[in-house]
């Protein structure tokens, strides 16, 4: 997959984003100094194990962190010329739906079971002052765009009358109906079977290309990332440990954690093989190691890894990785 040429300025620019959990006794960083950018017309994936900070990063961008106890401790999130981290709620409400929108993981819990589908898709439009007749027309157009059959009839249905794949298409329509420039997706295909999952990925990619949307897609599934994302950010223990084009990351991972994730993917050849495993468990965010967070689980760690937490460094293949030991020196 080739990455389209990028304009000079990213639509979304994240620098040094740190999100913490504040209690009476301490503040525990859960997202630690994340740097990321998404350009217009680009599809970027964030991958990593559950609990690594992927979804919190999206919620910080949307201004939807559960505050308290969660809060942005430091860093910057800019959408175009607008700084989001300290924007008043009225400003964020004006941006949500119009400039940025989000597809959530589970439509069953995201959709109100006692409201008709059309009313829920129209909710964002109505909040931005769109009249009833125009909102209805735009809802029908959005439902048709995501290829739901008979949009007028679907708009009158209740969520329980639709299949899981149809409900997820409704969530996509709700995110797209306000014509945002940035689409955030929090593992929206996780609960779907493989066939429906593939259909949803193709649907979002088609709409993204047609509208030249910027998309930031969170997933723990590297297969989904390989199908959809043009560029990847790999997160571990709250920080980005590798970033690069999807092709480069899959062909030559530069961080041992990325390599371990790839080794755990079943072979497409169908041949039986022993899958790789990552020993141990992710670290407790409240008790992170002094050096590299992955060092206790890393087969290639050297003594310096116990005391130094490396920054993201650019590598010859165009990727960036936070690792003291280059792949050429990894033990076999």
Residue 304 phi, psi (nearest 5): -65, -25
The tens digit of pLDDT for each residue in 279-319 reads 899 999 999 999 999 999 999 999 999 999 999 999 888 89
Q: Which residue has the tokens 């004006």?
A: 94
Separation between Cα atoms, residue 225 and residue 132, nearest integer Å? 38
Residue 268 — pLDDT band, cuts 50, 70, 90?
A: low
Share of the chain above pLDDT 90, in %: 84
The tens digit of pLDDT for each residue in 2-12 reads 344 555 799 99
Which of 139-153, 223-237, 275-289 shows the lowest mean pLDDT across its residues? 275-289
Mean pLDDT, residues 146-172 taken together: 95
Separation between Cα atoms, residue 206 and residue 183, nearest integer Å? 13
pLDDT of residue 183: 97
User: SS3 for 61?
Assistant: helix
pLDDT of residue 276: 73
Structure tokens at 131: 């009249």
User: SS3 for 276?
Assistant: coil
Separation between Cα atoms, residue 84 and residue 60, nearest integer Å? 9
Residue 270 — pLDDT band, cuts 50, 70, 90?
A: low
Mean pLDDT, residues 166-179 taken together: 95
Mean pLDDT, residues 135-158 taken together: 96
Cα-Cα-Cα-Cα torsion 51, 55, 59, 60, nearest 10 degrees, comes to 60
Indicate whether 59 pLDDT > 50.
yes
Indicate whether 331 pLDDT > 90.
no
Residue 281 phi, psi (nearest 5): -135, 160
b (16+ CB within 10 A) / e for 176-215: bbbebbbbbbbbbbebbeeebbebbbebbeebbeeeebbb
Mean pLDDT, residues 33-42 taken together: 97
b (16+ CB within 10 A) / e for 14-52: beebbbbbeeeeeebbbbbbbbbbbbbbbbbbbbbeebb
Separation between Cα atoms, residue 249 and residue 318, nearest integer Å? 9
Q: Enumerate residues 6+ apart whose C-beta is below 8 A from 232.
A: 44, 45, 46, 47, 225, 242, 243, 244, 245, 246, 249
Instruction: Say what the pTM is.
Output: 0.92
Mean pLDDT, residues 139-152 taken together: 95
Where are the domains positioned within the chain?
108-179
Mean pLDDT, residues 106-123 taken together: 93
Q: Enumerate residues 6+ apart whose C-beta is below 8 A from 269.
A: none
Q: Which class for 71: exposed (0-12), middle (13-18), buried (19 or more C-beta within 10 A)? A: middle
pLDDT of residue 192: 82
Separation between Cα atoms, residue 98 and residue 113, nearest integer Å? 25
Which of 39-43, 193-197, 215-219, 267-271 shows the lowest mean pLDDT across its residues? 267-271
């Amino acid at each position: 997959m080739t990455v389209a040429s990028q304009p000079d300025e990213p639509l979304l620019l994240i620098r040094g984003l740190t999100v913490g959990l504040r209690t009476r006794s301490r503040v525990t960083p859960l997202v630690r100094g994340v740097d990321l950018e998404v350009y217009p017309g680009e599809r970027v994936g964030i991958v990593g194990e559950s609990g690594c900070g992927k979804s919190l990063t999206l919620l910080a961008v949307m201004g939807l962190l559960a505050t308290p106890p969660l809060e942005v401790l430091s860093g910057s999130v800019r959408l175009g010329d607008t700084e989001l981290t300290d924007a008043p709620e009225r400003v964020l409400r004006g941006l949500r739906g119009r400039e940025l929108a989000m597809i959530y993981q589970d439509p069953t819990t995201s959709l109100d079971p006692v409201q008709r589908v059309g009313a829920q898709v129209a909710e964002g439009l109505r909040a931005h002052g769109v009249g009833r007749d125009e909102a209805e027309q735009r809802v029908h157009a959005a439902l048709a765009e995501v290829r739901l059959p008979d949009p007028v009839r679907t708009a009158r249905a209740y969520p329980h009358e639709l299949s899981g794949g149809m409900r997820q298409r409704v969530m996509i329509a709700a995110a797209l109906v306000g014509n945002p420039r940035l689409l955030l997706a929090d593992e929206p295909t996780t609960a779907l079977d493989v066939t429906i999952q593939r259909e949803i990925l193709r649907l979002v990619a088609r709409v993204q290309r047609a509208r030249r949307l910027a998309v930031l897609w969170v997933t723990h599934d590297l297969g989904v990332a390989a199908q959809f994302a043009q560029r990847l950010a790999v997160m571990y223990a709250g920080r980005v440990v590798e970033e690069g084009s999807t092709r480069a990351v899959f062909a030559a991972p530069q961080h041992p954690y990325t390599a371990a994730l790839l080794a755990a993917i079943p072979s497409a050849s169908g041949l039986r093989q022993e899958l790789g495993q990552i020993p141990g468990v992710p670290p407790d965010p409240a008790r992170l190691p002094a050096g590299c967070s992955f060092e206790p689980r890393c087969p290639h760690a050297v003594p310096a890894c116990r005391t130094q937490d490396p920054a993201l460094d650019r590598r010859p293949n165009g990727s960036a990785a936070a690792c003291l030991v280059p792949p050429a020196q990894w033990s076999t």
